[in-house]
Structure 1
């Protein structure tokens, strides 16, 4: 019993400390849109114990109920660390009889002897529908609209439909547009299923993540109030100029509609409802995509479209010989971040530069792809001196001014001290070499007398014979051959590009095995990532292209330059495009599509391996 009270006391002590350390958050929430006469909730929440709650003036509303008070708390212990959450809630149920826009001023509350104010709310009250033959339909969020009674189950097209809205219908290549699919209904929706959305051919498509707990919201469209909910939202980047079609979509909706008949049950009369299925479709839309203008386009433009900034940093300005130093390039902004290429940097020839490490941090929103793309080069200077890392230019097409803009990075000076040979290590090496010529006798050390070596050799009966000279020639030739082979091996290993070229097929096969495992597990995302790594990795190794230069245009030029057939080149580019589209766009028949892509990728590598000499 004592243990029980002790644990309870300890828990209360820990939780009170955790709550006290939290930042006070006092917020107000309510529906943005309501209909005249509709009841809705006004909720105030605070994350710490509080008192002296004072609501704002609500005289413009009818207060149906409130304020009611509730408390909730939870505790977690993870890896020995205790965390706690607490919520104090004040709830009102309101209604309003006149349409218009209403402001609810902040409420006030006291937490730890300090006063806090909530946020201001804006409520848009819509006029009711002017239909007489209607009943009320209420969604799970408590909102209601007029629901036309249909005894025969027929549903008018203007009572239930899916609307496809497109943010822009005329854009430039790589300029983002947003496509939203929203359901409009005046009926109770039982289920939404069998949704088929376009594959967005010709676009680089990304699905925008919607809130997990979505609710219907009232929206007035063409003078009628509807319950609406967003089904899907996509961010699209057109990949070519011309007219690109967005195919139709299809959604099946199951409705619960009244029949205008009543039945008597145990608790009295109740209204009969029937379920009706209806398939809703959106029309095909055409997007006009304009080619990027040539006026103002420079050679430094690599396809970046949007609004960007560039930051570069050098980790050190002075180092020793063989000491690593890093150069970071960070591109931030809003645009086609996932597709843009990095500017080329011309490093000093006397500096060893490794393949860059890439770090991406993106978020896909209705405003576009927002985030950063970071590239880090590791450099090792092998000689002393003063080196200059020249500036580079990052050019992009600005979608606000619709003009090309250029950002020039700063020039860096790197001072390298020391020599290319480490004198300490050299001294040790010489010392070890000399020690091989000494022997230990007791506690004394003396050099071996090498003058008697030839005398002993001459005493051998083999010395000077034909057998001796024959063996001498054979072993000399073998030794020379071994030296040549060793030099060739060292040269090949030193030529990293040649090693990568020879092992390109082996590396690709390893990635194909990993992709096949993902295929068996039906892990679509991991599968396409591995296929892309296999294809791009093979081309990078085989064509000796760095990550910066690994573009489709460069791949096409390099393959044609080494006499790969035009058909094979086009097949390679087509597979890359299809794989990118499948990776980022929704597809139907996922299993079949993955198997087909797996076969195409292997066939492509096989053809390239046969044709590249």
Structure 2
């Protein structure tokens, strides 16, 4: 009996040892810096294996991301009996923000209906990073905050409505084998009209450390007066670097720069001839020639250059020219690269109607200068022109005699000379057949030049509106831009983000608003404001929120999810188009 008890105890210990051996937990390191990403690896084997219970780990102050999972199944046959064993491996990205000793508690895994536990693991969380020789002089410790950080600033805190504001966003990362992950979005700039933007790369020393700096620069124009705010610049990214032994390390980072308050002053009382331009401008005019011909157009080019919003630079008003006809201006805009400088040209066709000596008076262009805090007038030069008659445009001379009775006759000089007909009525009488009808071309030919002229005029006006009216141009090209964006969905690394961006851009183009930082809540407000029906609004909001959830899910979206979101996005745009057509007068 005693022997049987010993055998039973030995068997029980053997079962327990086997049970603990079926679940193990390890970490990629036992020493990590605060917020540095390390990995918790859990391995289990058995029949029916459930996912591990990680709640005790998060309760211990350890942040976990979505794990990668691997499974393997082995089948054995011994003495005619088949046994199946499953092995599963979970690899959790983890990080801890609290410095000091941290213990990963034992982790529970259910196998074949029985609960098994891993062993606790002790970690040391330090402030300094293991950069080896990369640490400057090896005299100062480097933290994750030192690896990379962001800054944001503006060139002024107080400005006038319509005045250019330069917003600079900077990403600093330590020179060497350090890289920043993530695509930073632009901060919210409600109340500002977006202008040109560009990017610079340079280096800078901060606290005796050399940093690579990427600058995102955007020009903004305040559309309203009062107290405005440039929203905080925040985005979720990561930093990678290599330790002393050449192993790659990675830590997740939430980058954040504080919001910037801006005071916008209203413009003083505007003069009657104010052009709407705010900034500092120069104006010049060039005439293609001063020796003109009656009826032949000549081009007058007026050029505005300076720093300001090109969309508020209205066309200069030409003085009345009683001796000529002046066309509507053709507009071209040239934005200097990596600069707020802009050049806007207006081309006028002047057609002289009368001969003689004439002049084109100077053009006055009134704008508001933030430097002088008053309205200024830029002026062009005066042009003296001489208009001559067109070649062959003298008095008409009758042929066939001067007497009235002789103009209505046909004279025959001899048999070899054809008669000269001076009476047009004779031609009409001779050529007219009482039974003949005019051909359709006879009716159409007088109208055709007029129709061509009207069509060309309408085309030029339409093109001019596309160039000068940004809101109209954005609405006109909104559908084409949307189709182009979603056509590239399959070729992008994040198709769901592309779908959300396409829908936001379409809505922003239709209502002529800024799409930077546009959220699903903002879209709901905009659609309600413009009277879009509740069903269409709810559909657009659901699609955008689904895209936002997928973006922060920490995993790639399945093909079925992408296909469903693609169909929902296209359906939303079609319903918006139908609603807008119904609302159109």
1:192 matched to 2:181? yes
1:377 matched to 2:365? no
Q: Is the 8 A contact 2:327 2:350 kept in 1?
A: yes
Q: Following superposition of structure 1 onto structure 2, how do residues 508-527 of structure 1 map, counting pairs within 5 Å?
A: 516-522=479-485
Q: Following superposition of structure 1 onto structure 2, how do residues 35-114 of structure 1 map, counting pairs within 5 Å?
A: none
Of 458, 461, 470, which aligns to 1:500? 458
Q: Following superposition of structure 1 onto structure 2, how do residues 531-570 of structure 1 map, counting pairs within 5 Å?
A: none
1:282 matched to 2:248? no
Superposed displacement of residue 197, structure 1: 1.8
Tell me the residue number matched to 2:70: none
Superposed displacement of residue 361, structure 1: 2.2
Q: TM-score, normalised by structure 2?
A: 0.50
Superposition RMSD in Å: 5.5
Tell me the residue number matched to 1:210: 199
Between the two proteins, the alignment pairs up a number of residues equal to 375
Of 412, 416, 419, which aligns to 2:387? 416
Q: Is the 8 A contact 1:168 1:177 kept in 2?
A: yes
1:56-98 per-residue CA deviation (whole Å, 9 max, x = no partner) reads xxxxxxxxxxxxxxxxxxxxxxxxxxxxxxxxxxxxxxxxxxx
Superposed displacement of residue 163, structure 1: 1.8
CA distance in 1, matches of 2:336, 2:172: 28
Of 290, 294, 297, which aligns to 1:324? 297
CA distance in 2, matches of 1:599, 1:310: 47
1:391 matched to 2:379? no
Give 5+ residue unaligned stretches, structure 2.
Answer: 1-126, 401-406, 467-471, 488-506, 520-543, 548-565
1:132-164 per-residue CA deviation (whole Å, 9 max, x = no partner) reads 96765788xx988977467xxxx5x57753222
1:252 matched to 2:185? no
Cα–Cα, structure 1 residues 443 and 515, in superposed 2: closer, same or farther, change >3 Å? Answer: farther
Q: Is the 8 A contact 1:145 1:226 kept in 2?
A: no
Superposed displacement of residue 375, structure 1: 1.4
Q: Following superposition of structure 1 onto structure 2, how do residues 155-554 of structure 1 map, counting pairs within 5 Å?
A: 155=144, 160-185=148-173, 189-211=178-200, 214=201, 216-220=203-207, 225=209, 227-256=211-240, 270=245, 274-294=249-269, 297-363=270-336, 365=338, 369-418=340-389, 422-423=393-394, 443-446=416-419, 496=454, 500=458, 516-522=479-485
Superposed displacement of residue 201, structure 1: 2.3
CA distance in 2, matches of 1:143, 1:593: 51
Superposed displacement of residue 193, structure 1: 0.4
* Partner-residue secondary structure (3-state), 1:520: helix
Q: Is the 8 A contact 1:136 1:145 kept in 2?
A: no
Superposed displacement of residue 402, structure 1: 2.1
Superposed displacement of residue 360, structure 1: 2.3
Cα–Cα, structure 1 residues 189 and 148, in superposed 2: closer, same or farther, change >3 Å? Answer: same
Superposed displacement of residue 377, structure 1: 1.0
* Partner-residue secondary structure (3-state), 1:397: strand
Q: TM-score, normalised by structure 1?
A: 0.48
Q: Is the 8 A contact 1:137 1:144 kept in 2?
A: no
* Partner-residue secondary structure (3-state), 1:522: helix
Cα–Cα, structure 1 residues 510 and 285, in superposed 2: closer, same or farther, change >3 Å? Answer: closer
Q: Is the 8 A contact 2:160 2:265 kept in 1?
A: yes
Cα–Cα, structure 1 residues 410 and 605, in superposed 2: closer, same or farther, change >3 Å? Answer: farther
* Partner-residue secondary structure (3-state), 2:482: helix
CA distance in 1, matches of 2:163, 2:453: 41
CA distance in 2, matches of 1:322, 1:138: 80
Q: Which has the larger radius of gyration?
A: 2
Superposed displacement of residue 577, structure 1: 8.7
Tell me the residue number matched to 1:565: none
* Partner-residue secondary structure (3-state), 2:368: strand
* Partner-residue secondary structure (3-state), 1:161: strand
Cα–Cα, structure 1 residues 516 and 185, in superposed 2: closer, same or farther, change >3 Å? Answer: closer
